[in-house]
Chains A and B, each alone.
Chain A
Amino acid sequence: MILTEDYLQDLLDKTLPQVRTGDWAVVLEGSIAEGFGNPGSDIDFLLIGRTKDDLPTMPSLFFVDGRRVEIRTRSVHQLAEQFAALKTGAKRVGRIPEDLLNRCQRLLHSYPLRGHALVEEAKGMLPVERFRDIAAAWWAHCARQSLRHALAMQCLGESEEAVDWARSGLVQVVKSWAAGQGETYLEPKWLSMQLDRADRPDISDRYWQLESAAAEVAADDYLAACLAFAADLGVTGVRRTPERLTVERQPGVTTWQAAERVHVIRGRRDVFALGERAGRVWRSLVLGSPLPQVLANARATGTREAGSLLAEFLRLGLVRLAWKGGGTVTPALPLASPPGPITPPPSTAQPLLSLRGAAVTAPDAVDLIPLPAERFGAATLELAFSNMVVENAREDLAGALQRGQWKVAEVAARRAVHSALRGLFCAYGVSPLPSDSDLVRRLSLLPEDTRPIRALADGLTRLTIDSAERAEAVLCELEDFVGVVRQAAGADAFPSSFDSADTWRATLELGYDWVRVAAHFDSQLPLQEIRDLVATSGAQPHQAR
């Protein structure tokens, strides 16, 4: 140990008065107690009490004699629970939280300073040999996950990532082996000293050679060498058989297509819009299939980047990888960043939405839409609804003008303007919408280039019609207005639905597609009402054919 007991007792004497009183047994735990450490290392004291109350988990930090001293407290009861949880968890080591393993390890390998009998009692709750086995199995599990993931990445042609995960797996393999030798300290920081103490130069040398060879050897060879090393050190279940890897369903992930656009919704919250090629690869994905088969299917779509896209789907957590007979592959770096899916920055494409789906930035893009799924569903349905109402209102207006019903025509014109504006807001992802009376003012929420629309809308919502001439003029103004809105929102947001029965039917079908998404999310909009309206609007063109 790099510090003497006298020094530690002195430090403890100076620290304890700052801690709540109690009859404590005290141990030094962590790197210094392990025999590692350096002058910069923290001093970690664990105080053990017989109190019936649970003691706080949060550590306290002190600076004593220029050193950072960390104090933790645990009751005997809490320690017993801790060891019991570890023993239970040992049945499925992959589920043991690293913090639990770390806490148990630190106590078992601690250096007693006060209350030796109580310390012995606490340590006696789990034989150190049993702990070695658990720690070795835990690291082997981690290694298996990393190496399987590396195998998957290599299969998908993501060599750099494969090498990095193989390297992580390599550390975990040797940590598993070292744990079996009694070197159970969790943090890999002191691995070199652990291997020195294990005193097996053959293993140590081979490890360091492999560790440093990552940049020099071809990815395929490197992965093979790491897998061979793992097998030699007793880590099973990582043979070089990528066909054992299968692509499986990720709970909460659903696919919704409108026209050609594929949208994938993650966890009922995040919406990803897939570019054309990304969409094709996604659609080729047959759940439960072996990874090489999935890749072959993806390549058969004619997409060169198929492997990269599949890897991206895995990173985003849109599908999961499983190992036949070994469950989900969950690569993780213990004591580092938490495992799990990543989330990219949201897309900046504008306008965001059209009847044919969300905008994408590139054919290979997997763009995160900057709207939560529920609002995405509501906005797209409202956009479809707006389209229908605009057309309906224009028809009403024309009918009213024919019969000289000027006041009826004014209302119809206002309705057409409001609906077009509602659609425009939706195209920019605004949901819920402002009230109709506030729509024109709230155009300020939209980008600068939509400003001219405001002046036109302002005029049209205040119009009066009192003659046939004025009526003709209003019709022209309204056509111009819809044209400008269509330009701002994009033709796909406002297709010319009434140009033919076919275009109208296509608009209706897209409307039903969005009803389907909205139904999935129980969107805020009055679904039944909209479905009824869509149904009513649909009757005429169907009959016309």
Chain B
Amino acid sequence: MTEAMTVLITGASGFLGAEVTARLTAAGHSVLALLHSNGGIVRNNGRPLKPKPGTLTPLTGDVTRPGLGLDAERLRMVAGADRIVHCAGITDFGRPEQVYQDVNVTGTENVVALARAHGTPLVHVSTAYVCGERDGAAREGELDVGQRFGNAYEQSKLYAETLVHKAAADGLPVTVVRPSIIAGDRRTGQVRDFKTLYPVVRLITKGRARTIPGNYDALLDLVPVDYVADLIAEAATRFEDARGLTLHAVAGRAVTLRDFSDVLAEYPSFQVARWIPPAVFSAQALPDGERLCHERVISLYASYMRRRIHFDNTNTVAFSRHPVPAGGRPYLRKLLDHSLKVGYLGASTPRGGAAAPAVTPPERSPQP
């Protein structure tokens, strides 16, 4: 085991941050957990985190404020940290651009400033989708290649990562971890937060989104939260090996929309959407209820149904001792089985019953 360290984790109660915190405290490291609110840390399995005594110090703060909104005493504590793991961020889609700017960009700027002030090695959690809207292979060494973005979230993460790389060029030791679409546990499919693609799957399987623009060969890279947390914790603890690297935290095999369609068809109660070539899709042609559903949810993810992107993970494979999760159809089944088991997914709405989509308003979430 590496020598015990003090690690500042931002977004420590988030979907990913909680799992990173759990790993580092379990390994005997001392975690300064920056939390946006006073709530506790709940792990992916839904249980409260029970860290080893003395390994967890919660700090209420706000990444959008200079000094992360910490008072002088807490800032002194943070100054002594051996590592900063920056997990905080807004991952929901459809929020006002300013929110992404404040949390994802300014938040990163504030974290970088803190790291620069004390020369603290930084593990920055970005997203593989900084690649933007393009097909083919996205490499770990690439960042700004003039890409278009699928949404404001992706763009904000690129700006944030650019700040981190700039600091690295100025001598700050950094590692960037770029997860793809983070989903449930690799063995059980269990997931704490049904966010990102989960609401889309729910609308499809319930038959509320029947016609979706997409390409059968579009690739959705779903990566288990436990693997991403393993990799981030490993980058923090083996920082000398990880320094300067950008690591794609992705699955061994992405699922195509065809995989997605075929696997959904394995569940009698699920409706399977029909994919229509994006070039000819028109939301105006949808029935009223479905159009609303499309505008409020599906359209936010439409870009992911088009892209044929493959994430190269050469750096990660060379660096990490954790096996890359297989992904593909078996993993998708685990995610769906768990969602069924806990009642998030279930019976479909009979055709003809055009119920309005139950779309929950986006929430602020301290995850990447």
* A interface residues (Cβ-Cβ under 8 A, vs B): 249, 253-257, 260, 264, 280, 282-288, 297, 318-319, 505, 509, 512-513, 515-516, 519-520, 531, 535-536, 538-539, 541-543, 545
Which residues on the B side are within 8 Å of A282 (C-beta)? 268
- Segment at the interface with A among B243-251, B272-280, B355-363: B272-280
- Chain B min CB distance to A81 (Å): 34
Which residues on the B side are within 8 Å of A319 (C-beta)? 268
- Give 3 nearest A-B pairs by CB, closest first: A254-B265, A512-B274, A285-B268
* CB closest residue in chain A, given B261: A516
- Chain A min CB distance to B154 (Å): 27
- Chain B min CB distance to A16 (Å): 57
Query: When the two chains form their complex, are residues B258 and A519 in contact, meaning their CB atoms are under 8 A apart?
Result: yes
* B interface residues (Cβ-Cβ under 8 A, vs A): 211, 216, 258, 261-262, 265-272, 274-277, 279-282, 284-285, 337, 340-341, 346-348, 350-351
Query: When the two chains form their complex, are residues A542 and B280 in contact, meaning their CB atoms are under 8 A apart?
Result: yes
Which residues on the B side are within 8 Å of A318 (C-beta)? 268
Query: When the two chains form their complex, are residues B280 and A539 in contact, meaning their CB atoms are under 8 A apart?
Result: yes
Query: When the two chains form their complex, are residues A545 and B216 in contact, meaning their CB atoms are under 8 A apart?
Result: no
Query: When the two chains form their complex, are residues A253 and B266 in contact, meaning their CB atoms are under 8 A apart?
Result: yes
* CB closest residue in chain B, given A505: B285
Which residues on the A side are within 8 Å of B337 (C-beta)? 287-288
* CB closest residue in chain A, given B277: A535
Query: When the two chains form their complex, are residues A254 and B262 in contact, meaning their CB atoms are under 8 A apart?
Result: yes
Query: When the two chains form their complex, are residues A255 and B268 in contact, meaning their CB atoms are under 8 A apart?
Result: yes
Query: When the two chains form their complex, are residues B351 and A538 in contact, meaning their CB atoms are under 8 A apart?
Result: no
Query: If the complex has contacts A280-B350, A516-B261, A542-B280, are A287 and B267 also in contact, measured as CB distance less than 8 A?
Result: yes
Q: Which of B275, B341, B351 sits near A288, CB closer than 8 Å?
A: B341
Which residues on the B side are within 8 Å of A536 (C-beta)? 280
Query: If the complex has contacts A286-B347, A535-B279, A545-B284, are A509 and B274 also in contact, measured as CB distance less than 8 A?
Result: yes
* Interchain CA distance A254-B266 in the complex, whole Å: 4
Query: When the two chains form their complex, are residues B265 and A255 in contact, meaning their CB atoms are under 8 A apart?
Result: yes
Which residues on the B side are within 8 Å of A280 (C-beta)? 350
* CB closest residue in chain B, given A531: B277
Query: When the two chains form their complex, are residues B282 and A255 in contact, meaning their CB atoms are under 8 A apart?
Result: no
Query: If the complex has contacts A284-B347, A287-B268, A535-B280, are A520 and B261 also in contact, measured as CB distance less than 8 A?
Result: yes
Query: When the two chains form their complex, are residues A249 and B280 in contact, meaning their CB atoms are under 8 A apart?
Result: no
Query: If the complex has contacts A280-B350, A509-B274, are A520 and B265 also in contact, measured as CB distance less than 8 A?
Result: yes
- Chain B min CB distance to A473 (Å): 36
What are 24 residue pairs bridging A and B, where the CB atoms are less than 8 Å apart in the complex?
A249-B266, A254-B266, A256-B272, A257-B271, A257-B351, A264-B268, A280-B350, A282-B268, A283-B347, A283-B348, A286-B269, A287-B268, A505-B285, A509-B211, A513-B274, A515-B274, A516-B275, A519-B216, A520-B258, A535-B280, A536-B280, A539-B279, A545-B282, A545-B285
Query: When the two chains form their complex, are residues B266 and A538 in contact, meaning their CB atoms are under 8 A apart?
Result: no
Query: When the two chains form their complex, are residues A286 and B340 in contact, meaning their CB atoms are under 8 A apart?
Result: yes
